[in-house]
Homo-oligomer: A and B are copies of this chain.
Amino acid sequence: MNTAEKPAAALQALAQDFRDALRQSVYLVRRLDADGDLSAAQLSTLKMLLGDGVRVGEIARNLGVRVPSATEQIIKLERAGLARREPDPDDSRAVRVTLTDAGLAPVASANERRTTVMAGVLSSLSDEDRAALAAALPVIGRINATLLA
């Protein structure tokens, strides 16, 4: 039962199960994001701006989308008054995107509300289940990082 002996079968089975779980989770995430005033893509983008200012290309990379898609979201956020675009002082080709004061509260409340809903779901699990989930999250994070490289 060491690594070299069962590459194909067990690995494929795990991959299949993981794919299935993720597929279902996509719809779960959709539900979770459906009720808010901020869309999933917008909230993700805004959360990225909490620091000092982020370039469009970096936003795109972090979101896993192309630059034009990021630009589109940013423009929407700007029109909504939640984000601001400024020229980068060091590189005039670049644009630095920052969160406006008006954007702070919405991002916090939208984030909190969704997390609370999710916490409600998790509260119905057993301690064991929650422990298993917590143990797997870093692994999933590593998988995601691999694919985004």
Contacts and interface: CB of A to CB of B under 8 A. Distances in A.
B23 A40 contact: yes
Contact of A27 (B64, B122, B141, B146): B64
Contacts of A15: 115-116, 118-119, 121-122
A14 B147 contact: no
Interface residues of A, number: 57
Task: Count identical subunits in the complex.
Answer: 2
Which label, helix, strand, loop or mixed, suits the secondary structure of the A interface? helix
Nearest to A145: B24
A19 B115 contact: yes
A124 interface: yes
A131 to B, nearest CB: 9
Interface of A: 3, 7-8, 11-12, 14-32, 40, 44, 63-65, 114-116, 118-119, 121-125, 127, 129-130, 132-137, 139-144, 146-148
Contacts of A114: 19
Contacts of A125: 139, 142-143
Contacts of A130: 11, 14, 139
A114 to B, nearest CB: 6
A28 B143 contact: yes
Contacts of A144: 21, 24-25, 27-28
B3 A127 contact: yes
